[in-house]
Structure 1
Amino acid sequence: MMGILFVCTGNICRSPMAEAVMRKMIDAAGLAAQVRIDSAGTHDYQLGLAPDPGAVRAAAQRGYEMVDLRARRFSVADFYEFDLILAMDRGHLDILTRRRPPETRAEVALFLDYAPPAARPPGGEVPDPYGGEAADFEYALDLIELGARGLLATIRTSLR
């Protein structure tokens, strides 16, 4: 089974939205038995909390379910449990790269590396909508859907 982990700061906005989007796409593609999806945060500010209400609203409007998700902190053990660990921004990528044990096979990358290059924002990051307006959550979700579509294509190819 392939394991994919999405990582943001507190695991209440971007990474749980990415988890919800990717789960729905994986389910629709008939790959749920072959791909495990999860999310985590680099910091423990929000441990055990549900996703931000703005993230839940934006996701629900597009048919993504997030109500059962709870924030957790990324741990070194995740490098051994997941094949692909995707950071929402370069700060997260930096943290993950520094903490990655040399012997692990987990690949660490920026999530939007999977989005079409022309569609990526400058810097290739999903901006943090935390504390923002509904439009900020919608924009983050737009980018997450772009990255998820590209990631799904990669997953399909690698599982053949």
Structure 2
Amino acid sequence: MKKTSVLFVCMGNICRSPSADGIFRDRLAKAGWSDLVAVDSAGTHSYHIGHAPDERTQAAAERRGYDLSALRARRVEASDFERFEWIVAMDNANVAELTARSPAAFRHKIVRLMDFATRHDATEVPDPYYGGAQGFETVLDYIEDGLDGLLVRLGQAD
């Protein structure tokens, strides 16, 4: 595997993208690849800059053994499009926003997480923010699936 960088993106960077960030870091550590992949997360909007992940997100992740407490929300910056090799969006609205903001030369880096999923046929990771507790569990199921596929994909890279 060659060195690479991955930015996970959702709307506010307090539910889905920090979950993907924390879970992916865990998966990379277990694979012995932490030094090969730089990981970060950001939001397309600035609603929650500087905030820790949503308490419900942290609780759901903690039940599965993931600690998201050190993460803090930030907004996608113009430099991110050049800096990251993979810009992994949680849903189609994120893809549209990122595509609109990205210089044309970097748009090929924008992908959806669920395009890597093998166990679920959903195309998007739904935003759990306004729903109940089960939504956070579904989000983690989808994210784990997509990340497993992304890890395989990265492992195949030269």
Aligned-pair Cα RMSD in Å: 1.3
- Give the Cα–Cα distance (whole angstroms) in 2 for the partners of residues 148 and 120 of structure 1: 14
- Give the Cα–Cα distance (whole angstroms) in 2 for the partners of residues 103 and 15 of structure 1: 24
- Give the Cα–Cα distance (whole angstroms) in 1 for the partners of residues 108 and 82 of structure 2: 7
What code does the residue aligned with 1:131 have? Y
Scaled by the length of structure 2, the TM-score of the pair is 0.95
For 1:144, the equivalent position in structure 2 comes to 143
- Give the Cα–Cα distance (whole angstroms) in 2 for the partners of residues 4 and 106 of structure 1: 13
Superposed, 1:1-160 pairs within 5 Å as: 1-104=3-106, 107-116=109-118, 119-121=120-122, 124-158=123-157, 160=158
Scaled by the length of structure 1, the TM-score of the pair is 0.93
Cα distance change, pair 105–92 in 1 and its aligned pair in 2 (3 A): closer
- Give the Cα–Cα distance (whole angstroms) in 2 for the partners of residues 41 and 101 of structure 1: 18
Q: State the Cα distance separating 1:106 from its structure 2 match.
A: 5.8
List structure 1 segments (4+ residues) > 3 angstroms apart after TM superposition: none
- Give the Cα–Cα distance (whole angstroms) in 1 for the partners of residues 61 and 95 of structure 2: 24
Runs of at least 5 residues in structure 2 that lack an aligned partner in the other structure: none
Identity %: 44
Runs of at least 5 residues in structure 1 that lack an aligned partner in the other structure: none
Cα distance change, pair 83–106 in 1 and its aligned pair in 2 (3 A): farther
What code does the residue aligned with 2:42 have? A
